[in-house]
C-alpha cells in the first residue's frame, strides 16, 4: 500500500509491479526514479508547472553547500520535539522541492531512533524527479497542494516550507491534534541580496496569521549571515520569488557585485489542528 490515493476517484492506491493502481482500475506508472505523477490536467496549470530543471538544479547546488543548514537543523529540532512519545509519526511535505529538507530530516529521525514515514509532493515534475532520484527512503509524487492525493486524517505533521498555505487541504489530511509547520521568510531575510539588485529594497512583513481549523502554538526563528558570490549568488537568487519578477539584468548585477553578505532568516510557525466543535445538542 502507498501513502497516496487515486486523484480521479479518491480510492487507495496500491503498488502493483511498476505502477500504483486503485480498485477502480486507474493506474499510474512509477517513474524510473521511483516517483509517481498524480497531477491531473488543470486549466490553471501550464504544461510544466512549478520550478524548471534549471531552477531545481540551482536550488540543489545551493542547499548542498550547507549555507541553509541552520534552517534544516531548526526544522529537525521542531519535528523531533513534536514527535516525542509517539510510536510512529507520518510526515507530509507539501512543497518538497528537490528533497533537501526531507533527506536531512530522515537522517535526524533515524539517529534519534524515531519510527517515521515521510512522503513529499510538489507541483514541479523536475523537482520531484530530482528528489526521488536521491532520497530513496521517501515516497514522492507530482501533485498540487490544492488537491493533495492523500486520505483525510493521514498525517501527524504537515510541512509547508516556503510553500503556499492551503489550510483546508492541510487540515483535511492531518490527524486530530496533528501539527502544521509553516516556514516563512523573516523580516530581514536576504536583505543583502535584495540591496544588490534593487534600488529600493524592502523588508518582509512579520505577522502571526490565524487560519481556520488551526491554532497557532509557537513561532521559532533561525537566522544567520552568509556570504555568496558569483554563480552561487545567482543560484540563491533563482531560489527566490524575486527571480520570477526581475529582469535578466538582475542576474548581471549579482555576477558583477562580487561578494554579497546577506542576512538569512526563516520563521517557523507551528499550528495545531483544532477539534471541530459539534453543533449537536448533547
Residue 62 placed within a domain: yes
Joined grid coordinates for residue 164:
503556499
Task: Report residue 281's pLDDT band, with 50, 70 and 90 as the boundaries.
Answer: very low
Q: Please report whether residue 268 resides in a domain.
A: yes
In the block, cell 553578505 appears at: 261
DSSP three-state, residue 25: coil
* Tens-place pLDDT, residues 63-107: 999 999 999 999 999 999 999 988 899 999 999 999 999 999 999
The pTM of the full predicted model, rounded to 2 decimals, is: 0.93
User: Mean of the pLDDT values across residues 244-264?
Assistant: 86
Cα(278)–Cα(269) distance, rounded to whole angstroms? 27
Stronger pLDDT, 120 or 86, i.e. the higher one? 120
- Is 126 part of a structural domain of the chain? yes
Range of the domain at 255: 48-273
By the 8 A CB rule, do 210 and 250 touch?
no
Q: Indicate the average pLDDT of the chain.
A: 92
- 214 domain residue, yes or no: yes
Domain count, the chain: 1
How many CB atoms are located within 10 Å of the residue 49 CB? Answer: 15
Tell me if 17 is assigned to some domain: no
Give, as one character, the DSSP assignment of residue 6.
Answer: -
How is residue 258 written as a grid cell? 562580487
Strands (E), 124-173: 139-142, 155-161
What's the CATH number where 135 sits? 3.40.50.150
Q: Is 19 domain-assigned?
A: no
SS3 of residue 258 by DSSP: coil
Spatial separation of the C-alpha atoms in residues 98 and 94, rounded to whole Å: 12
Which residues make Cβ contacts (< 8 Å) with residue 147, sequence separation at least 6?
7, 40, 169
Q: Does residue 11 fall inside a structural domain?
A: no
Tell me whether residue 216 is in a domain: yes
> Is the pLDDT at 180 greater than 80, yes or no?
yes
Amino acid at each position: 500500500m502507498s501513502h497516496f490515493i487515486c486523484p480521479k476517484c479518491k480510492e487507495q492506491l496500491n503498488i502493483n509491479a511498476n505502477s500504483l493502481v486503485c480498485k477502480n482500475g486507474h493506474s499510474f506508472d512509477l517513474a524510473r526514479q521511483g516517483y509517481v505523477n498524480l497531477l491531473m490536467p488543470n486549466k490553471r496549470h501550464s504544461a510544466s508547472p512549478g520550478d524548471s530543471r534549471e531552477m531545481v538544479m540551482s536550488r540543489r547546488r545551493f542547499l548542498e553547500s550547507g549555507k541553509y543548514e541552520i534552517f534544516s537543523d531548526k526544522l529537525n529540532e521542531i519535528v523531533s520535539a513534536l514527535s516525542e512519545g509517539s510510536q510512529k509519526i507520518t510526515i507530509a511535505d507539501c512543497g518538497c522541492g528537490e528533497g533537501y529538507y526531507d533527506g536531512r530530516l530522515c537522517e535526524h529521525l533515524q539517529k534519534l531512533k524515531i519510527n517515521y514515514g515521510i512522503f513529499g509532493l510538489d507541483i514541479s515534475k523536475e523537482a520531484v524527479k530530482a528528489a526521488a532520484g536521491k532520497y530513496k527512503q521517501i515516497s514522492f509524487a507530482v501533485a498540487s497542494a490544492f488537491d493533495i492525493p492523500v486520505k483525510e486524517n493521514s498525517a501527524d505533521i504537515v510541512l509547508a516550507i516556503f510553500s503556499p498555505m492551503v489550510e483546508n487541504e492541510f487540515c483535511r489530511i492531518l490527524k486530530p491534534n496533528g501539527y502544521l509547520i509553516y516556514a516563512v521568510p523573516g523580516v530581514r531575510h536576504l536583505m543583502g541580496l535584495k540591496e544588490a539588485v534593487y534600488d529600493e529594497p524592502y523588508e518582509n512583513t512579520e505577522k502571526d496569521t490565524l487560519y481556520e481549523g488551526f491554532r497557532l502554538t509557537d513561532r521559532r526563528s533561525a537566522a544567520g549571515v552568509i556570504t555568496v558570490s558569483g554563480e552561487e549568488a545567482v543560484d540563491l537568487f533563482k531560489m527566490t520569488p524575486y527571480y520570477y519578477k526581475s529582469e535578466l539584468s538582475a542576474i548581471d548585477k549579482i555576477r558583477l557585485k562580487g561578494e554579497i553578505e546577506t542576512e538569512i532568516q526563516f520563521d517557523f510557525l507551528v499550528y495545531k489542528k483544532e477539534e471541530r466543535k459539534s453543533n449537536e445538542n448533547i
